[in-house]
Amino acid sequence: MRWIKRLFALLLLLVVACAALLAFYAFRSLPKMDGSLNLTGLSAPVKVQRDASDVTHVLASRPRDAWMAIGYVHAQERGWQLEFNRRVMRGTLSEVLGPNTLETDKLMRTLGIREAARRQFEGLPSDAKLALQAYSEGVNAFFAHTDQALSPEFLLLGIDPREDARAGRYWDPLDSVGWSLMMALDLGGNWGTEFARLSALEAIDTKALWELLPPYPGERPAATADLARLYRDLGVYRTKAVTTSAAPASETSTGIVASVREQIGADMQRWANELGQSDGKGSNNWVVNGSRTASGMPLLANDPHLGLSAPAIWYFARLQAPDADGVKGMDVIGATLPGTPFVVLGRTEQAAWGFTNTAPDVQDLYLEQINPANPAQYRVPSTGSEPAWANFGLRMETIQVKGEPDVSHMVRSTRHGPVLSDAQAIHGKVLDTGRFVLSLRWTALDTDNRNVIATMESNRAQSVDDLLKAFRDFHSPMQSVVMADRTGRIAFKAAGKVPVRAPENDIRGIAPAPGWDTRYDWTGWIPYEETPQDDGAARGWIATANQRIHAADYPHFLTQDWVAPYRQERIEAMLEQTPKHTLESFQAMHADQYAAATVRLLPFLQKANSDHPLAAAAQAALRDFKGEMRADAAAPLIYTAWVDAFTRRTVGERVGQERFAGMYGKRLFRSGVEGILERDDANWCGAARCAAASGLALTDALNRLQAAHGNDVSTWRWGNAHPAISIHRPFSNVKPLAKLFEVRTPTGGDPFTVNVGQYHLDKADAPFANRHAASLRAVYDLADMDNSRFIYQTGQSGNVLSGRYRDMSDTWVAVQYRTLTMKPEQWRSTLELRP
């Protein structure tokens, strides 16, 4: 007994010691928020103060010092986020994670994000270069000289950025330009949609393609070419299926690090395969003038919909500095993007603005024919009857791989841009890459991309006119900007560059075009003066929700792939039904969970016949369902599982289940399914017609829900199946760590509600989970700017050991806000950064 007691005491002592060490480490990993710190390179002291809403106020005497200080603060609060994002855009994940991320690195190197950033940086004016350089110095200074312990991700993965930071090469201005390009990559692409059409047309004809992926309501297909016949005549498809596999994990890797490397490789490959899809990438914004508000002054709301992550993509801060040293100052507050030194969405003292994604077609895929006599050449336009050929551009990239020899990756390019199919394994499953490759033309890679200037100037704007002038330089991706100022003026402008396509272009960027035919080349750009705009005078309000933003007679082609107008129509209805809007009416709009898309298909579900033992209970739950996608109800779950099962049956069987699996997930084919059901289309539903397919889908859905949620339909809850998951990279991929690092909470809504909750139905572990939602919500009160509000779904800290890592989550779910003020009554903390 004596030895047992001693052993127990020893174990208890070890547990206490470990707990003490963990507590000490956790304390040391938190940023210093009070007192003072030295920051070499500042010209004068800078105050960094946090208010009751946990917004960080950077108060400097010179713009350069403010930009340097926000770089330091971002590194303090979001160090791992900077590290991971830097490696993604540079294509250096494999240097620390091994061969599992090699395909993602190859894609980033192929796109040439860093090369494009270098060209764009060289063309910037001196004050923009100064801002990016100062920001980089702030980031590097933190990692080089801080006493703050690195966050757990660095320790668990064995990554130490301090040596590079001391040499000044950890973060540089090209990384900030590059991160702007990565945002354009996430928001501004349709290459995946073009490839999906190419893939589908191997199995169906052109008419069926427009049934599956129909154009915007009231429009005809933008492409008039018979695409199926074109690709068949060219012989672009492989003659047999090709399977690919992920790179093997290093044999020397063991334990948690090996698990992280393997899982993150698969995760990043999924991410890469999903690029170039506009599906589910939306936002809402609206603004009303004083004639429609109780205060007599404008109100402006914004909720950009992005992939949910922990930490969040945004960091709220204020940057204040007067004009100094020939550089114009700023006083601006709102959402900064860690990796860049500016407020992206927010307000100044006199003006406010908000974005939604316009999603014009600014990416075109080109089929490049390989010279059968010389595979180093591809076909180019010819003035004669014989084909003409030119050499591929070549650039060798060397990728360091942890634990293995370096990998050499040859990047090929054509007159249109990089050869994308060299870095997208999925292309090789469809395309005969021995005869054809796919190259990418993308506006964001152009040298004249001046997003940095536009964002910097918006931070100085004091009027709608100033904002309109600032966004003239905005390039990629085009944004639908609503704005207001304290004179009472409101406006909307589509800001960004969109190519002009020739009248004889019968594909119009909808699907891959023959790269040797000049009629498919871009012929110019839509002038800024001619992009859609509105002053709000006609109705007293303006709203956008990724719908078609122009009238049917607009003279330019922007895209065919607008988002179905369900959210827009709901926002318009709510704006009209309230004569005088307030912050509270805007809050109710942000919270709205009515889904007109659900109401449209609900009668087909309510008529579905199923012999499943739970069918009667399911139909009873649907009886009083009015399309409100509430978290505490069963009906939204039953409906969503049914429409998913119906889509898998009808579309999957028509195009082939393997092909369908590569296209479905974020892409829901909902507009196509609506048409199939409403036409009772036997070509898709089969000879027994759509009622039979609907009944079988209900049986499939109930089998699935019974297995996951039990036999009592009355206990089923949409919110349990539809939690908002803010994923952490990489630790969402490691089950023992996911619960700690992710932020999860039950939510309502769906992809078609104003309070959006986009699910990815290809995620087998949680297919209905809310993964793409309001990345922030903001309301700006032009009657009293300091009465403006904001919230987002995690917290300001990027350190999981901080109490500020997830402290906004419950407020976000409840659609409540924090105050966004430049004049806080008190400071929660005050830190002075000293030269």
Per the DSSP assignment, residues forming a β-bridge with 318 are 57, 333
Of the candidates 231, 566, 223, the one whose C-alpha atom is nearest the C-alpha of residue 361 is 223
Please give the Cα distance from 21 to 42 (Å, whole number). Answer: 35
pLDDT of residue 240: 65
CA distance linking residue 351 with residue 371, whole number of Å:
56
Residue 585 has pLDDT above 50, yes or no: yes
Check residue 20 and give left, alpha or beta (phi > 0: left; psi -120 to 50: alpha). Answer: alpha
- Angstrom distance (rounded) from CA 721 to CA 741: 20
In eight-state DSSP terms, residue 3 is H
| 433 closest CA partner among 441, 442, 423, 422 | 422
Cβ atoms 478, 360 nearer than 8 A? yes
Q: How many residues does the chain have?
A: 835
135-149, 264-278, 714-728, 758-772: the lowest-pLDDT one: 264-278
Q: What is the pLDDT of residue 276?
A: 74
Residue type at 48 in one-letter notation: V
Check if the beta carbon of residue 195 is closer than 8 Å to that of residue 512: yes
Predicted pLDDT at 257 = 57
For tokens 């809007």, what's the residue?
581
Residue 634 backbone phi and psi in degrees, to 5: -90, -30
Residue 5, pLDDT above cutoff 50: yes
Q: Is 826 exposed, middle or buried (0-12, 13-18, 19+ CB in 10 A)?
A: exposed
Measured between alpha carbons, how far is 691 from 486 in angstroms, rounded to an integer? Answer: 56
Q: Record the tokens describing residue 222, joined without a space.
A: 């933008």
* Angstrom distance (rounded) from CA 43 to CA 130: 14
Gyration radius of the chain's alpha carbons: 27
Q: Which residue has the tokens 């307030």?
A: 582
Over residues 641-667, mean pLDDT: 96
pLDDT over threshold 70, residue 242: no
User: What local confidence, expressed as pLDDT, does residue 115 receive?
Assistant: 97
**Are 352 and 785 within 8 A, CB to CB?**
yes
| Average pLDDT of the chain to the nearest whole number | 94
Tell me the Ramachandran region of residue 552: left when phi exceeds 0, alpha when psi lies from -120 to 50, beta otherwise: alpha
Of 244-258, 275-289, 451-465, the poorest mean pLDDT is in 244-258
Q: Residues 203, 659: contact at Cβ < 8 Å? A: yes
Q: Could you tell me the two tokens for 768? A: 């209905």
- CA-based diameter of the chain, in Å? 99
pLDDT at 244 over 60: no
Q: What is the DSSP secondary structure assignment for residue 62, as one 8-state letter?
A: S
DSSP notation for 710-775 = -S-GGG--HHHHSEEEEB-TTGGGSHHHHHHHSEEEE----TTSSS-EE--TT-TTSTT-B-EEES
pLDDT category of residue 782 using cuts at 50, 70 and 90: very high
Separation CA 377–CA 389 (nearest Å)? 6
Q: How many CA atoms lie within 13 A of 47 on its CB side?
A: 12
DSSP, res 665: S
Q: Which two tokens stand for residue 715?
A: 């206990």
| pLDDT band of 732, cuts 50, 70, 90 | very high
| Total Cβ atoms within 10 A of residue 692 | 14
* DSSP H or E segment with residue 410: strand 404-413
Residue 732 DSSP symbol: G
What confidence tier does 45 reach under pLDDT thresholds 50, 70, 90? very high
SS3 content of the chain, % helix, strand, coil (to 5): 40, 20, 40
Report the percent of the chain where pLDDT is more than 90.
Answer: 89
Quick check: 563 and 545 in contact, CB under 8 A? yes
Q: What is the pLDDT of residues 323-381, one digit of tens each?
A: 999 999 999 999 999 999 999 999 999 999 999 999 999 999 999 999 999 999 999 99
Mean pLDDT within 70-89 = 97
Task: Read off φ and ψ for residue 302, nearest 5 degrees.
Answer: -150, 135
Taking the mean position of all CA atoms in its chain, how far away is CA 604? Answer: 33
Cβ distance 184 to 344 under 8 Å?
no
Closest CA to 415 of 461, 458, 381: 381
The H-or-E segment that residue 773 falls in is strand 772-774
Helix (H) or strand (E) holding 688: none
